Amino acid sequence: MINPVGSDVLKPLFVYDSDAHHALLREAEGLPQVLISSQAAGNAVMMGGGYFSPLPGFMNLADAVSVAETMRMTDGRFFPVPVLCLLENVDAIQGAKRIALRDPNVEGTPVMAVMDVEAIEEVSDAQMALMTEKVYRTLDGEHPGVETFNSQGRFAVSGPIQVLSFSYFQADFPDTFRTAVEIRNEIAERGWKRVVAFQTRNPMHLAHEELCHMAMERLNCDGLVIHMLLGKLKPGDIPAPVRDASIRKMVDLYFPPNSAMVTGYGFDMLYAGPREAVLHAYFRQNMGATHFIIGRDHAGVGDYYGAFDAQTIFDEEVPEDALQIEIFKADHTAYSKKLNRVVMMCEAPDHTKEDFVLLSGTKVRELLGSGIAPPPEFSRPEVAQILMDYYQSIS
């Protein structure tokens, strides 16, 4: 199986030993407490599950700025985005050596991790702007990722953590949420050697389904891991339970047995386009995938990124020795009326726009909200029914 990034073994930060786990929870009751942001909580979940391995905890300011500029920490270790615990106020933890990090996304804000505090640093406006510009390629406050990153506070608290909770993800998505450790183990149990991963924050229509079949065939893969984001999205995006139900229905009906796993991970979307694509590849390698599909405008939002920036970054900016996972570069896929099948649009040079079945997201939502299924060339009827039920429930 492919090695994790930067190590021969995965290094999850979740405390699995029950005695040690309970001892830490008891200790946490007497420690200075801090309520962290949703983004920091997502970072803790990803470190706990091994997705960010071998990162030992939250980065200090020098490492975060270095990562933003070069995708390397000050000691040379590769990481694609800063992983920060930013706070608005640090009065309660000044001088503390160990602190308890509380979860903002669960009722009662329970402790989710214990941190050994190595530094509490104030982030200057210039440093914040530099990291924002490098990661998001814009300073526009209307960009949802920029707004979230810059609204967390200006104090960076850094140090190694021991994770005690996967937030709400295990309870809310017991059949879908999986750590990198669990996915690696299941890949091994299934006997898969070549594995392609597909990232989604949306339901999968026919073009997405066929893209996965296409990648599996061309890469000669044993299996596919459909890996959906379960954390916070932007307003208007379809909730995770609805996406989960529609994707499972598609896999049950249109994929051979033992060829596809439906899983999810607990993280808030960054909408950082190219940089987020590299982060997605990073943690897909850690979970055991040998290949990763990246299509047009991967992890993008609005018009902030070029259609293929999330692909070219791997050739132009990612250090050559950083990742072993291979990228399957995909163009937009759509149903060809000429060929009566889904194709990558770049592989049909004799087609015009009118030769494809193309529907805007707005049009699809209008159809579903009216109880009208999109054409079968766009969406499987069983998937469309689940989405119609959802849209009609909120109309």
Q: Let me know: does 78 contact 62? Beta carbons within 8 Å.
A: no
Are 278 and 313 contacting, i.e. CB atoms less than 8 angstroms apart? yes
d(CA 261, CA 38): 27
The DSSP H or E segment spanning 333 is: strand 333-336
N residues, the chain: 395
- Report the alpha-carbon distance of residue 261 to residue 55 in Å, rounded: 26
Tell me how crowded residue 331 is: count the other CB atoms within 10 A of its CB.
17
Backbone torsion region of residue 340, taken as left when φ is above 0, otherwise alpha when ψ lies between -120 and 50, otherwise beta: left
In sequence order, what DSSP letters do the residues of 280-327 get, joined into one string? Answer: HHHHHHHTT-SEEEE-TTTT--TTSS-TTHHHHHHHHTS-TTS--PEE
Q: For residue 2, give the DSSP letter.
A: P
Please say whether the beta carbons of 40 and 86 come within 8 A.
yes
One-letter-per-residue 3-state SS of 121-142: EECCHHHHHHHHHHHHCCCCCC
Amino acid sitting at position 284: R
Characterize the bridge pairing of strands 119-122 and 155-163: antiparallel
- Three-state secondary structure call for residue 203: coil
Which residues are tagged catalytic?
A: 201-202
Token code pair at residue 93: 């933890």
CA atoms within a 13 Å half-sphere pointing along the CA-CB vector of 146: 18
Amino acid at 242: V
